[in-house]
Structure 1
Amino acid sequence: MDAHEALGRRTFVAGAGTALLGGGAVSGAEAAVVDGPLPDFHPALKDALTFPLAWGRSPIRDVRAWRRAARATVEEHLLVERQDGTPYAPEFSGRSRTRDCTRELVTVSLTRYERVRGVLLTPHGRGPFPAVLLLHDHGARFDIGKEKLVRPWYDDTRLASARAWADRYFSGRFVGDELARRGYVVLCLDALGWGDRGPLAYEQQQALASNFYNLGSSLAGLMAREDQRAAAFLAGLDRVDARRVAAVGFSMGAYRAWQTAALSDHVAAAASICWMTGLKEMMVPGNNTLRGQSAYYMLHPGLARHLDIPDVASIAAPRPALFFNGGLDTLFPAEGVRVAYDKLRAVWRSRHAEDRIRIKTWPELGHVFTHEMQDEVFNWLDDVL
């Protein structure tokens, strides 16, 4: 097919979609997908999303009642039931001491399905201490998960990869080690597919997600439930001040941080770096989400019929929340970030808590969590916890 034929085909596809939207009939062979792939009629699908349960649009006017209803709706769409009755049965190993903290490996049951290994850092001194549930990113790099954020003292084979990741995204810092140095207990666990629970191949993600759906469950729902349970486990440790637990993450970890704050009352504050947007503004030709694959870790089927992405995050209001993004971040269109931030500000304002939400765009930065950004987050945590 030459360029002229390709252009003609593309024009025809657009016409077929227009005919459908106008009530015309086209054969199955003529219907097509474009740009991404998106269905040619995707504008109509987006127009149908009105987010009727969003605060301010929902008929529920009582704040507490809305929060209960919104959270219940999110939990229903996780497709993974609550795991509150499953004992954590923690096992600790690999203990070592540094100048700043005691490092341990901890293996726990976050669900009834399998044991999960993570790292736990505890500052020296007398507790109880404030704590951070530190949530790793996606990055299409599966051989390391928790090691992206905490130096892997227990595995030299992963250290080179971990250092390279820290250099690329975190100004050479291990964020978890720095938090422990500053007096925080830090818990960081592998999500399914990463580190000790992987490594998954990038191309296997859609098959994994599909298999979850065919088994009546959800990959994204599992991650949400595990993070919810991890927050409760961390808050329940004797060494931790249960009133001072935060969730912190970068990229997919940012998504996990605000999602966990929305689902768990154990999270007193959340800092989310480089993952926030309006859904409609994200679903545009060329956006990374349209590739599928990694998107399944952040996809709860049907939830968009009720709530936009920032609507879910706003369930955490009026607890302290921080959202940073890079102005040069190509993963999240500027309009989507603006729409989301406007919604978030409005919800915190409605709770008379504008001083509890911090939103900032770093115009010169892309998809990173630099040491300057980290220092602002750490200082903010010191203030709000």
Structure 2
Amino acid sequence: MNLGITRGVLPAFYERLRDELTFPLSWERSAGHDFPAWRAEARAVVAESLMQPAAPGPEPFDPVTVEASDAGPYTARTVEFALSRYGRARGSLLMPHGAGPFPAVLVLHDHGAEFTIGREKTVRPRSDPDRLARATAWADRNYGGRFVGDELAARGYAVLGVDTLGWGDRGPLAYEDQQALAANLLQLGTSPAGLAAHEDIRAAAFLASLPEVDERRVGALGFSMGAYRAWQLSALSDGVRAAAAVCWMTGLKEMMVPGDNTLRGQSAYFMLHPGLHRSLDIPDVASLAAPKPALFLAGGRDHLFTAAGVETAYAKLRAVWESQGAGDRLTTTVRPDTGHAFTAGMQDEVFAWLDRWLGAPVRESAPGPAATSGAGGGLPPSS
């Protein structure tokens, strides 16, 4: 009997462990099919797996604007706010000219083993030529040469991007140090994935709190790890009204096979909640967002996710949305000729979808005056 490990650093008995996962809290196993009750119970299980102790009271954002500049149809600002009770973080905030209130999108950056830039993967950096060069190269490689945050702002959306712990201004983390970070956070009673989820909820709430933003029209968008974060955020936050996830959805069992990228370990820590899958499959968690609008796009040539895993997940998602009479609010698409990328064509599809579900933005006829450093947005200037 082989009690050791097999290819992909899996235990030789991994198939038995995998078969024991029955996801007893999944919607399909719900006896009463009482959706609000199921969601409340499942959310409680997810919340416990995040390992985020409850705050003693309301946590103020205490925002300041660090710098601002005119960017044509919108103002580009660097803002600083309390991302959690543990510390502050900087974000890239794009705000259309005019009075608003505007629909808004939290753009969530990918992993990609590129830590020197984070929010700059989705929002063009303006004050650092070196970061701009790296971000432009990243956009060319993964985003069809576009900065999706800037594209949305030009369409009339308020946009916010924030670094995850380890990226950009909150790093940079070295690839081989991800395991040490995860181990240390676990020793301290939390996890990278749980902390990131909590911070994403806070970032979305901060965006919704801005006076120029219509809190009824806040969405989330991400590619790759950002996609995981986008659907997870919609599942856990009632304040996020719609989410678009590009290139991250699968069934767990179909993902846990030799050779899968997740089995390499390191980057998985940012998408791994200890013990959660004893109760829920990956699409079960995403289904907590139902019946809100949700868009899932996959690449048929994406080497990170098997076709079987994507189809299994899509089937589970469709069953939940359809059970709530909201099948028209769920879009699940596979682009057969696309790999692991957020192409310009996919972006155009996402932008049209966001216009539909967050409401077509009202464009102002003329932009306001150019912003000056430290100005704008109802935020006090940095001291």
TM-score (norm. length: structure 1):
0.91
What SS does the corresponding residue of 2:214 show, helix, strand or coil? strand
Unaligned segments of structure 1, at least 5 residues = 1-15, 18-30
Match of 1:57? 29
Match of 1:339? 312
- 8 Å CA contact 1:138–1:253 kept in 2: the answer is yes
Among residues 48, 51, 58, which one is paired with 1:79 in the alignment?
A: 51
What SS does the corresponding residue of 2:44 show, helix, strand or coil? helix
How far 1:62 sits from its partner (Å)?
1.2
Match of 2:357? 384
Match of 2:40? 68
**What is the one-letter code of the residue matched to 1:371?**
A
How far 1:59 sits from its partner (Å)?
3.0
Match of 1:144? 117
Unaligned segments of structure 2, at least 5 residues = 359-383
- 8 Å CA contact 1:121–1:185 kept in 2: the answer is yes
How far 1:82 sits from its partner (Å)?
4.0
How far 1:124 sits from its partner (Å)?
1.1
What is the percent sequence identity of the aligned residues? 63
Match of 2:5? 33
Query: In 2, distance between residues paired with 1:373 and 1:292?
Result: 29
How far 1:44 sits from its partner (Å)?
0.6
Work out whether 1:201 is the aligned partner of 2:174.
Answer: yes
The alignment covers a number of residue pairs equal to 357
Match of 1:237? 210
How far 1:85 sits from its partner (Å)?
2.1
Among residues 38, 45, 48, which one is paired with 2:20 in the alignment?
A: 48
What SS does the corresponding residue of 2:239 show, helix, strand or coil? coil
Query: In 1, distance between residues paired with 2:168 and 2:193?
Result: 17
**What is the one-letter code of the residue matched to 1:135?**
L
Match of 1:261? 234
Query: In 2, distance between residues paired with 1:54 and 1:190?
Result: 32
Query: In 2, distance between residues paired with 1:81 and 1:53?
Result: 23
How far 1:119 sits from its partner (Å)?
0.5
Considering Cα pairs closer than 8 Å and 6+ residues apart, tell me whether 1 or 2 has the greater RCO: 2
What SS does the corresponding residue of 1:56 show, helix, strand or coil? helix
Query: In 2, distance between residues paired with 1:363 and 1:126?
Result: 42
- 8 Å CA contact 1:86–1:110 kept in 2: the answer is no
CA RMSD of aligned residues (A): 0.9
Match of 1:367? 340
Deviations 1:65-88 (A, max 9, x none): 111111111000001124462211
Query: In 2, distance between residues paired with 1:228 and 1:349?
Result: 26
Match of 2:101? 128
Which of the two has higher C-alpha Rg?
A: 1
TM-score (norm. length: structure 2):
0.92
What SS does the corresponding residue of 1:121 show, helix, strand or coil? strand
Query: In 1, distance between residues paired with 2:54 and 2:23?
Result: 25
**What is the one-letter code of the residue matched to 2:41?**
A
Query: In 1, distance between residues paired with 2:322 and 2:206?
Result: 31
How far 1:60 sits from its partner (Å)?
4.5
- 8 Å CA contact 1:247–1:257 kept in 2: the answer is yes
Match of 1:289? 262
Deviations 1:193-235 (A, max 9, x none): 0000010000000111011111111111000000011111111
